[in-house]
Amino acid sequence: MDYSHYVVARRSEIEALYKYLEKHKYPVKITLGLDRLEKNALLSFEIYESHPLWKGVSDQITYYEQQDKHITNFVNVFYTEAEIRQARWSWIGYVHEQGYALPKYSFGNYSYKIECEECNIHEQTNPFQIADDVKWGKTHFRRLISMAEIFTCPEVIEAFQEQGFTGYEVWDVLKYKTKQPLESIKQLHFTKTCPFPVENLNNLKELVCPVCGRVRYAPYLRGTFQYKATDMELVQTDFMYMQEWIGNGGLAWREVLVSNRVVQFILDQKWQGITFKAIDLV
């Protein structure tokens, strides 16, 4: 297991850190703004905590944060393939993002039953719509931009059905202009919810909606979710949503738990576009 940090800041705000990375020939990305001035450019880079430079980078990030500099540090946890294969349950991590649900910015009015406009807790009631058939290239899974639902190609659907995996339905994705199902892309619509709560909720930041009073939890960035091993032995499905809602701002979603046999099968096929994080059974 390792942690990555994706750091973004205006170069002028973290000049010393930029010089430190430059000195050690560490790769960074410079994105110029509309004024095209390098001093106002955005600096971004990704670094793992296992990297020899991490201690020096971490000390400087902490210093900048204490000085109220505008620095964003996205943290993510990564597991080795061996760790994922050994886990009896995993949850879906990063999934390749591409394309938008339509109508853009208001697709939820068509596809979701919104239970609260403030926190956006919802239920999907209709298929999503996109512009046209998709070309998958080397990937086999995707999310649409800013969405949590999982989409895949016919090859994966056929293989899942042959394997007899459970806990999902195949939903159509519609062409926006014609409202007809597309052949190249389908949604994995998960139908089960875990009957047991997360064991380590005290490690999560609770967010109470001021309007409906329902609870979401801030995205889990360090560590992983824990469940009781004796509880999970009783589960008889391959896919299921967590009970708990995750979210920030106007977004809300539930993470998807996946059985070991599904994870092993996906890894064996070397399908791309999806990653997993191990569940800790206690």
Matching residue, tokens 């600096």:
43
Non-local (6+) Cβ contacts of 88 within 8 A are 229, 232, 259, 260, 279, 281
Structure tokens at 52: 């020899």
Reported confidence tier of residue 38, pLDDT bands at 50, 70, 90: confident
101-151 pLDDT tens trace: 998 877 777 899 999 999 999 999 999 999 999 999 999 999 998 899 999
Structure tokens at 135: 């070309």
One-letter identity of residue 279: I
Verify cis geometry, omega within 30 degrees of 0, for the bond prior to 210. no
DSSP 69-132: --EEEEEEEE--HHHHHH-SEEEEEEE-B----SSTTTTHHHHEEES-TTT--EEE-S--EESS
DSSP type of residue 223: S
User: Distance between CA atoms of 263 and 118, rounded to whole angstroms?
Assistant: 35
In the chain, what percentage of residues exceed pLDDT 70? 100
The predicted structure's pLDDT at residue 40: 81
User: Distance between CA atoms of 9 and 242, rounded to whole angstroms?
Assistant: 34
User: Distance between CA atoms of 119 and 227, rounded to whole angstroms?
Assistant: 26
206-264 pLDDT tens trace: 999 999 999 999 988 788 999 999 999 999 999 999 999 999 888 899 999 999 999 99
